[in-house]
Amino acid sequence: MYFSDIGIIALMLALGFAVFAIVIAVVGAVREQPQAIISAKRAVLAVSAFLVLASAMLVVSFLTHDFGVKYVAEQSSRSMPWYFTSAAFYGGQEGSLLYWALMLGIFSAIFAFTSRRAPAKLVPYVLATLMVVEGFFVLVLVTVSNPFVRLPYPPQDGTGLNPLLMDPGMLVHPPMLLMGYMSFSVPFAFAVAALLSGEVNSDWLRSMRRWMLASWSIQTAGLLLGSWWAYHVLGWGGYWGWDPVENAALLPWLTSTAFLHSTMVQERRGMLKVWNMFLVIASFALSIFGTFEVRSGIISSVHSFAYSDIGVYFFAFLAVIIIFSTALFFFRLPKLKPDQEFDSVVSREGVFLLNNLMLLGITFATLWGTLFPLISATIRKQTMTVGAPFYNSVNGPLFAVLILAMGIGPLLAWRRTSPNALWRNLSVPTILAAACALVLPLLGITDVLANIGFSVCAFTAMAILYELWRGARVRHAHGEPYWQAVYMLFKRYRQRYGGYVVHLGLVLLAAGVIGSHFFQVQKDVTLKSGQETTIGGYLFVYKGNLQSYGDDQQSVAALMQVWRNGTLVDSIQPGRTMYKNFDNQPASQIAITTLGVTDLYVFLGDWSGPSQATIRIFINPLVPLVWYGGVIMLLGGLLCWWPDGRKRAVYGRQGVKNGRVAITTPEEASKVAVDKGASV
């Protein structure tokens, strides 16, 4: 018996237990039988265990070079290092689907272990919904996309990974992004459970908020790593090209971001219930759409797999999700009425609504641009492409308004904000942003759009820091040193101040995008040994080519020196590697030198013998801010996700010390005033 045979058996058993879990969970919910629900949990754990076993068998097949397995022969070779051989597990369609199912099994098992924290009525429906999704993926794996299919005549060696995947990013980006897609299944299961059970109050939101935060953080990491990978591997000088598959990964991130904002409004004011339910369902549907888009091959992308009939199954599953969720949504719509109405547009909930409108606007524009080539090919029989200029011109202003709203929101009170309070809170950030707009032209930034973008970023950054300072000042007035006051703010209000950290990271990322978009400089030049070229104040000296040969590859590197003001900055070797198994398809080794907040990005375009090369050089200002901002966003997401470790105090029951009510933040002070009928 081969390891692959064990893998097939494990998949079949996983499918059987998934079906059993669905049936017994529904029976337990309808008949209110706790023992049936316990059986469903155990069945979910069995599904997870069998998927772990199947995945382990596939990895072992790779590591033992069992080329009798068709998938192993297609995705690996004996010359590959063991870590790339292991990563080949998710390098193709079949393995990536198995990884998707594996991660869902693990997340489902985590929910089964922690289900006591969720409302009891929701648990069986959550389990059943998760197993329906799991059952679909395992059914596809068993029938039309089996990674354990064996060849009648095993080859002596395999083809190997695509050269573009032979990069350290392969070890982190694909698994993180696939996990991100999968993780939206759990919030979706909570939403379906709430709709099926009729328990659509705020309890289901509180139970699944951290699940959605985890999904958002994972997807953020996947997008960030994907941008980093594209920047370091593809050689076009950028990190985001509005490729259809990139867009598909961004879509659920946008809707989940909108949800994380509007859920606070529902918990605080009992409003935006319809929004929240819609956004959770949309996030999951868009994650399935992204999976469908990559695996169907119907949309041209450098990330897509070849055209496959598997796309039909995903399209049908997506259609079922949309139809079922929509019908359930409208059935429960009468129960989703808001508890309160908007008191004023100039309020925190008003800004949250504006955030949602901007995020959904970006989502719609991105989805439309992604699908338009397919729609035009179907209706007009003519394929029309949608490029980066469309997305930049449409989404750019929307992102600017979104970032501006991020700065205004924290400075507004709930319910209503008086004109005096509005000016008092916004005056400092506004003055600093205006000063930024006046100073930037003196620094050589004369582009109007860039100036507006930087000024908006400055306003929001100052607004967030100002809000942090106000909170620390209030605590300092009660006797705490400033450093302790800041620490206590983050400790006691992790969700709020973690959100501010996320916003600061996004502002930093946006500044990096603005700088690299408006001020990137490019130069293509053909040099002979000893010749030099200048760009952006840097001198590049070409010394010749260094060529090397291996059993299945050929490499060439251009030897260069980078000088600035008579000082040697760096010695670089941009290169290309050609792989024989892929018809000498080249993979690029980009030379990136980071100097402060500027990247020198050098790509070897072509070469002739040992002493001539065509070099493409980019000067990319502020690109490092993209990575720094992304990391800060992840840290903020972790702060929001991290449990408080204490019970939140209910308003109106604050402790009294020395005869005074302990108010720790300006927001609490404004809340007291508003609840008493005052205008803040």
Q: For residue 470, what pLDDT is reported? A: 87
| Neighbour order of strands in the sheet with 612-621 | 521-528, 612-621, 598-607, 591-595
Q: For residue 665, what pLDDT is reported? A: 46
Of residues 163 and 429, more confidence is placed in 429
70, 123 Cβ separation under 8 angstroms: no
Segment of 35-49, 155-169, 607-621, 656-670 carrying the highest mean pLDDT: 35-49
459, 401 Cβ separation under 8 angstroms: no
Of residues 375 and 180, more confidence is placed in 180
253, 216 Cβ separation under 8 angstroms: yes
Q: For residue 671, what pLDDT is reported? A: 43
Measured CA to CA, the distance from residue 85 to residue 76 in angstroms comes to 6
Residue 386, by phi and psi: left (phi above 0), alpha (psi -120 to 50) or beta?
A: beta
In the predicted model, is pLDDT for residue 663 greater than 60? Answer: no
Q: What is the mean pLDDT of residues 50-54?
A: 97
154, 125 Cβ separation under 8 angstroms: no
Q: pLDDT tens for residues 248-275?
A: 999 999 999 999 998 888 888 888 889 9
Q: For residue 594, what pLDDT is reported? A: 94
Lowest mean pLDDT among 50-59, 229-238, 291-300: 291-300
What the block records as the tokens of 406 is: 């991020």
In the predicted model, is pLDDT for residue 677 greater than 50? Answer: no
Measured CA to CA, the distance from residue 82 to residue 67 in angstroms comes to 15
Answer CATH for 162-336 from 1.20.120, 1.10.287, 2.30.30, 1.10.150:
1.20.120
Q: What is the mean pLDDT of residues 33-38?
A: 93
Q: What is the mean pLDDT of residues 626-649?
A: 83
Q: pLDDT tens for residues 438-485?
A: 998 888 888 899 999 999 999 999 999 988 988 898 888 888 888 898
For the chain, the structural domain boundaries read 1-160, 162-336, 342-493+665-680, 519-624
Q: For residue 347, what pLDDT is reported? A: 84
Q: For residue 311, what pLDDT is reported? A: 79
Q: What is the mean pLDDT of residues 234-243?
A: 88
Lowest mean pLDDT among 75-79, 118-122, 562-566: 75-79
Q: For residue 586, what pLDDT is reported? A: 77
Distances (CA, A) of 102 to 59, 98, 105, 136: 13, 6, 5, 13
If you classify domain 1-160 with CATH, what class do you get? mainly alpha
Q: What is the mean pLDDT of residues 625-640?
A: 95
602, 617 Cβ separation under 8 angstroms: yes
Q: What is the mean pLDDT of residues 556-564?
A: 94
User: Side chain identity at 124, as an amino acid letter?
Assistant: P
Q: Give the confidence band of 675 by pLDDT, cuts at 50, 70, 90.
A: very low
Question: Which residues, including other chains, have CB under 8 Å from residue 255's CB and lie 6 or more apart?
Answer: 279, 282, 283, 286, 359, 360, 363
In the predicted model, is pLDDT for residue 674 greater than 80? Answer: no
Q: What is the mean pLDDT of residues 407-417?
A: 84
Of residues 428 and 302, more confidence is placed in 428
| Helix ranges restricted to H, 198-272 | 203-233, 244-269
Of residues 583 and 518, more confidence is placed in 518
In the predicted model, is pLDDT for residue 305 greater than 60? Answer: no
User: Side chain identity at 536, as an amino acid letter?
Assistant: G
Q: Give the confidence band of 306 by pLDDT, cuts at 50, 70, 90.
A: very low
In the predicted model, is pLDDT for residue 662 greater than 70? Answer: no
Q: SS in 3 state form for 143-171? A: HCCCCCCECCCCCCCCCCCCHHHCCHHHH
Shared fold status for 1-160 and 162-336 = yes
Q: For residue 539, what pLDDT is reported? A: 95
Average pLDDT, the chain: 87
Q: Give the confidence band of 653 by pLDDT, cuts at 50, 70, 90.
A: very low
Four-residue CA torsion sign, 164, 165, 171, 172: positive
Q: For residue 661, what pLDDT is reported? A: 39
pTM attached to this predicted model: 0.89
For residue 464, the Cα-to-chain-centroid distance in whole angstroms is: 23
